[in-house]
Amino acid sequence: MVIDMKIIDLEDKYLQEYFMCLEEWSDEIKEAGNHKQVWFNKMKDKGLGVKLAVDDKGVAGGMIQYIPIEYSNAEGVDLYFINCIWVHGYKEGRGNFQKMGYGKALLQAAEDDVKKRGAKGMVAWGLSLPFWMKASWFKKNGYSRIDKDGIATLLWKPFTDDAIPPKWIKEKKQPQPIPGKVLVTSFLNGWCPAQNLIRERAKRAVGDLGDKVIYQEIDTFEREELLEWGILDALYIDDQQVRTGPPPSYEKIKKKIIKKLKKLDK
């Protein structure tokens, strides 16, 4: 049941909350830097849509952001892509807004918006694991599975008969080790504070470990880079990808790099 809630477009007074995905109360999210703000400033004139679900006191309890698919890690024509939909569910901060219809209302508002923009369908990504961005939730809301990459499923809802199904951009190559060094590579798009947080922690760890560790960053907001690698957001140590969900701590990232360093000395 929806309780005293309305959907609004993003307003200036909510910008900082939006940049922190409604978790501005979290010290951890503050580690993510200003990458999402930079991403927003690049995307705001390129078709980005952001809507918030606010209660009768004006407190934002949920958000959805969506972009033309050509700025995502999927391929398609005349489609929009949902980066994320998030309803705040923690006791901390603004409190728990889940199980009150916020998600469905946000999704419907976004679909209505992109139809007015001339989109032929909406695309989403979902996880097979039972937490954030669940593929099963999108399926319950009329989306069909169309492609898969590991635990990530690509789903869509066509609005017209001539809509062309989307597909994932597949990984094309990985960073290659450098003899005598440990190479830490961060693929960063900027849209997600969780991924931005990982970048900040990895870069700090590299800075603390001396000149045998090299850091490189791939800006995947640049379409050419994304298409060259086929990777949107990720962290690699040499040619091995680090699991980034949930975001690993600074200590865990540093420990993984040290483990690689020790192998250099053998």
Q: Is residue 177 part of a domain?
A: no
Domain boundary among 115, 136, 168: 168
pLDDT of 2: 52
pLDDT of residue 266: 66
Q: What is the mean pLDDT of residues 46-55?
A: 97
Query: How far apart, in whole angstroms, are the C-alpha atoms of residue 49 and residue 66?
Result: 5
**Residue in the block written with tokens 């000149």:** 211
Q: Which CATH number do you get for residue 213?
A: 3.40.30.10
The answer to whether residue 173 is domain-embedded is no
Task: Out of 116, 139, 168, pick the residue that ends a domain.
Answer: 168
Phi and psi of 60, rounded to 5°? -80, 120
The percent of residues above 70 in pLDDT, for the chain, comes to 98
- Please say whether the beta carbons of 170 and 176 come within 8 A: no
113 and 16, same structural domain?
Answer: yes
- Over residues 39-61, mean pLDDT: 97
What per-residue confidence (pLDDT) applies to 265? 73
Give a yes or no: residue 224 inside a domain: yes
The answer, yes or no, to whether residue 130 has pLDDT greater than 80, is: no
- Mark whether 138 and 212 lie in a shared domain: no
Task: Output DSSP code: residue 165.
Answer: P
In a domain, 200, yes or no: yes
The verdict on 118 and 207 lying in the same domain is no
- The answer to whether 196 and 232 have CB atoms below 8 angstroms apart is no
Number of domains in the chain: 2
Do 134 and 257 belong together in one domain? Answer: no
Residue 57 lies in a domain: yes
Helix 250-264 / helix 193-207 crossing angle, nearest 10 deg: 40
Confidence of residue 50 (pLDDT cuts 50, 70, 90): very high
Instruction: Show Cβ contacts of residue 62 under 8 Å, excluding neighbours closer than 6 positions.
Output: 22, 52, 53, 85, 86, 87, 88, 97, 102, 103, 106
What is the per-residue pLDDT across 225-244, written as a single tens digit (0 to 9) for each?
999 999 999 999 999 999 99
Question: Is the pLDDT at 38 greater than 90, yes or no?
Answer: yes
Contact 187, 220 (CB under 8 A): yes
Query: Residue 175: inside a domain, yes or no?
Result: no
Interval 250-259 mean pLDDT: 97
- Average model confidence (pLDDT) for the chain? 95
Q: How confident is the model at residue 4 (pLDDT cuts 50, 70, 90)?
A: confident
Residue 80 lies in a domain: yes
List, for residues 54-112, the tens digit of each pLDDT value.
Answer: 999 999 999 999 999 999 999 999 999 999 999 999 999 999 999 999 999 999 999 99
Number of residues assigned to the chain = 266
196 and 260 share a domain?
A: yes
What CATH number does the domain containing 114 carry?
Answer: 3.40.630.30
Residues 160, 231 within the same domain? no
Same-domain pairing of 42 and 153 = yes
Confidence of residue 246 (pLDDT cuts 50, 70, 90): confident
| Cα separation, 51 vs 206, whole angstroms | 37
Same domain, 138 and 197: no
Q: Do 258 and 156 share a structural domain?
A: no
Task: Let me know whether 97 and 195 are in one domain.
Answer: no
> Could you report the per-residue pLDDT of 156-193, keeping only the tens digit for each?
999 999 999 999 999 999 999 999 999 999 999 999 99
What local confidence, expressed as pLDDT, does residue 119 receive?
98
- For 240, the domain range is 182-264
Is residue 152, in this structure, part of any structural domain at all?
A: yes
* β-bridge partners, 9: 51
Q: Assess whether 11 and 132 both reside in one domain.
A: yes
- Residue 122 pairs in a beta bridge with 80, 157
* Exposure on the CB side of residue 109, measured as CA atoms within 13 A: 22
Q: Cis peptide leading into 247, omega within 30 of 0? A: no
Q: What is the pLDDT of residue 3?
A: 64
Of 168, 197, 218, which closes a domain?
168
Q: Determine the 3-state secondary structure of 10 from DSSP.
A: coil
C-alpha distances in Å from residue 202, one per residue of 100, 216, 249: 37, 10, 9
* Neighbour tally for 70: CB within 10 Å: 14
Do 145 and 193 have their domain in common? no
Q: What angle do CA 30, 220, 178 make, to 5 degrees?
A: 95
How large a percentage of the chain has pLDDT more than 90?
91
